[in-house]
Amino acid sequence: MDVDLRKVRYFVAVAEELHFGRAAERLHIAQPVLSRQIRALEDELKVQLFVRTKRATELTAAGRQLLEDARPLLASAEAARRRVVLAARGPKTFTIGFMPGITVTAAVRAFTGQHPGLTIELLRTTWEDQVEVLHDGRADVSIVRLPIDQQGLTVRPLFDEPRVAMLPADHRLAGKPSIEISDLADEHLLQHPDAVPEWRDIASELRDGLPRPVPTLHNVEEKLEHVAAGNGISILPLSTASFYTRPDVVSVPVDDLGPNHVCLAWTATRRSKAVQDFADIAIRVLKS
């Protein structure tokens, strides 16, 4: 059975809004049309995707599974569309994604010298979208910080750098020349615990079964605002910490904390000469 991507897009809108009226407004279509399209999708799949009551709209187990599968499916379709359009226009633009704290100037200059006819664009990414920009076609290559989901990607190591603890300026450890990860056992980490497994393994709040919620943070600036306010601590790569300095937050080296691994990534299906040329340059220039 062929899946209609338009119906899948409609489904994702409803699944994210959990409200047919808001989803219809977001999609700029009438609500009865949206309802018919969702019913048609359910008929095609022979499953119920939503449970609708007068009070709420909720996903069924089948709906939750489809939402998990639909997002990468739509991203892949959009990436394919973008690549087709770019192929029709010719290779005129090359977009490089990069994470905060990473300087790509030397690699970009060398690459531009090899490809003077290309327009080079730079795209600042975050922990949330550093891989997504590759899958949806927004970037040709992306300089990423591990860990990432490497499925469908080609990943090449560039360099490692130390990670430091970001603390409020009046924190009890702020004046230390260095600390150990065990010194942070009673602190609240403003990141997903899996991002700092060394902290996860010794954290008091996890050991006691009382994990505190982590606020949704979209960038380094928001993270440091929470640190400065005393809401928790954060672990950052040294270059990022050095770039985002402020008087009410200090960085402290952590002696037994492993380094952050910086890599270059691109989608495994990409075979263009420009991608390979940039990879060769980045590995040579940024490693040094």
Please report the pLDDT score of residue 272 as a whole number: 87
**166 contacts 249 by C-beta, under 8 angstroms:** yes
pTM for the full predicted model: 0.68
Q: What is the pLDDT of residue 270?
A: 84
The helix-helix angle for 31-45 and 5-17 (nearest 10°) equals 110
pLDDT at 135: 85
Q: Does domain 163-258 bear CATH number 3.40.1190.20?
A: no
3-state secondary structure of 204: helix
pLDDT score, position 264: 97
Predicted confidence at residue 35, as pLDDT, reads 92
Ranges of each domain in the chain: 5-77, 91-161+261-287, 163-258
Integer Cα distance of 24 and 264 in angstroms: 39
pLDDT at residue 64, rounded to an integer: 94
Q: What is the pLDDT of residue 127?
A: 85
Architecture of domain 5-77: Orthogonal Bundle (1.10)
Residues 162 and 259 sit within 8 Å (Cβ to Cβ):
yes
Given this chain, do its domains 91-161+261-287 and 163-258 carry the same CATH topology? yes
Question: Which residues of the chain carry a pLDDT beneath 70?
Answer: 1, 85-91, 288
The per-residue pLDDT for 75 is 82
Note whether 202 and 195 are within 8 A (CB). Answer: no
Q: How far is CA 178 from CA 123, 185, 186, 267, in A?
A: 34, 15, 17, 39
Protein fold of 91-161+261-287: D-Maltodextrin-Binding Protein; domain 2 (3.40.190)
CA 123, CA 105: separation in Å to the nearest integer? 13
pLDDT at 1: 56
What was the pLDDT predicted at 239? 93
